[in-house]
Amino acid sequence: MQEGAGIAAVVKHFVLNQQETNRRTVDSHVDEQTLWELYYPPFQAAVGAGVAAVMCSYNFANGKQACENAQTLTVDLKERMGFKGWVMSDWWAFGSGNGAAAGADQDMPGTDGYFTAAALSNLPGGRLEDMAARVLSGLAHGGSFRPAALPGCRAGCDCEDLLYNVNATSAEHVALARSLAAESAILLKNTFVEASGREVLPLRAGQTVAVLGSACAARGVQFPEAADWTAADYYVVGGSGRVLSQKVVSVLEGLSGRGLLLQASTSESIPNAAKVLQAAEVAIICGGATTSESFDRRNLRLDQEEFIVTALSLAGNLGVPAVVVALAPGAITTPWKDNATAALLLFLSGQETGNAAADVLLGTVGPSGRLPVTLPLQEEDAVPPCDGTSLCIYEEQLKGGWHIYDGKSVAFPFGHGLSYTKFDYAVINDRPRLRDGNPLATLTIRVRNVGTTFGVEVPQMYVRFPASESKVDRRMQLRGFQKSPKLAPGEGHDFRFALAPRDLSVWDTEHHNWKVVAGRFQVFLGASSRDLRLCGKFEDGAGQSMRPCCTDSRSSLAGYAARCRSWPV
């Protein structure tokens, strides 16, 4: 919720809306423990932060339509999570008149007749009053009843024309969009080039740079194609929530006027690319992929994958270091990664994509983004949407999300992201587990910049649960991450991590509540889920100090266990 702005936040889609394919008919079946430990936590975090409303989804959840599911809406969301706001439907999501009785408080957009006075007349006593109170209190808390910034627009009036036609763009908003896009860019790879005696990135002023591929100069969605509500581009998602800009900055435009000697071939023409590469000191090769509401991506490939592979081969034969810039809506496959000298990934970064990419490529902004997903080695390793059937059983259970790839080699792991400098990790202070305490354990680490340039680090804390109970899944789980300020060479920053009872709990399906697990826990601090730097353990009140992990950089837990017999996995 944006305090003071008259804006109330809505979180969606509740719940198990994990695919767009057959989204109105698919029935997602998930066991109770997996639901609470894997799929509910993002919503529970939003509830804890005071979100005003929750939007229920089109799909079915464990046999009942999500907007007519009393178990998920009333029992789980309102009673067990303690949600005090209101539940609104996705547009025309109801399949019958049972939504209000199940826990939905608002029918959107309200034209299907399910929430008329007659339809709501048979609700249990107090339910209608509860619906009204939830909506009105949520609007009041969000500032909807205060004088509006737009004259003539207030609660109870039709503000659509005023809101949709207002120009909210300002220099401050553009600068914020650029900063957010740059700080979220993820440096996947950056290889040392022997000829120059340094990594290929950041680029240097005066370099001759070949800019290759249509994605480097891609334009945003415009009319007439914008008339298709699902139309998307490499900057924004398609669908009802898209925001189309008339001022999209491409990668080529972002690099222009920045002190580089640019030679561009903005097509997938191999002869043209070969010609431009002849005089280049370094190459930028772009690829992109789109996604939209109402259907899933056909594959995880970049649209220009074949061109990227061929262009990298050309650059390699000519001895030209090549950087792949990927503009993607989510996880992608990277069969070109081994031949790329460097790779930069931006997730649908909006109108300032090109400027943000240039800022990172030139080192004006140091890369600090981290992967919120895993990039698999091959598409077959991922779990595809359920297609051709209405029943979708989540057989992977707690092995969903980035844990799909546990035990498998991956292209780039969850949490991965490089900087233009190097960091080391050291423990400053740690405390053993305290019985009945909150937090149950704390530790302070110091991250120090040991490189030669400024940089930002994002240390991540993972916990591995004990094998004390058969119901406990032993996967390593993310339990916190923090971001450092911009650190100069030699400068350090201290981070305090705390483990609360919830962090060391599992969902008890017998008592339908969280239960703190007893036994030996392992704690890991690192730069990604497979780059663990500090390791420790504690058990029933007794702790052992954190120490450097017995692993090579980016090694797996299996390798870690093999080297450290006293630290069993």
Q: Quick check: 427 and 443 in contact, CB under 8 A?
A: yes
Tell me the chain's radius of gyration from C-alpha atoms: 26
Name 371's Cβ contacts closer than 8 Å, sequence gap at least 6: 186, 345, 412, 413, 414, 415, 416, 417, 528
Residue 254: which of 340, 350, 378 has the closest Cα?
350
CB atoms within 10 A of CB 295: 16
CA atoms within 13 A on the CB side of 185: 33
Residue 382 CA to its chain's centroid (Å): 17
Residue 188: which of 360, 380, 404, 308 has the closest Cα?
360
Q: Quick check: 300 and 331 in contact, CB under 8 A?
A: yes
Output the six-digit token pair for 406.
């546990």
Q: Quick check: 443 and 546 in contact, CB under 8 A?
A: yes
d(CA 57, CA 262): 47
Amino acid at 138: G
Which residue's structure tokens are 């939905």? 104
Output the six-digit token pair for 548.
């450097």
d(CA 101, CA 105): 9
Instruction: List Cα–Cα distances, 246 to 215, 218, 220, in angstroms.
Output: 17, 13, 8
Amino acid at 255: L
Q: Quick check: 105 and 120 in contact, CB under 8 A?
A: no
Q: Quick check: 544 and 431 in contact, CB under 8 A?
A: no
Annotated catalytic residues are 90
Residue 446: which of 423, 477, 478 has the closest Cα?
423
d(CA 375, CA 530): 13
DSSP state letters, 340-381 = -SEEEEEES--TTHHHHHHHHHTTSS------SS-EESSGGG
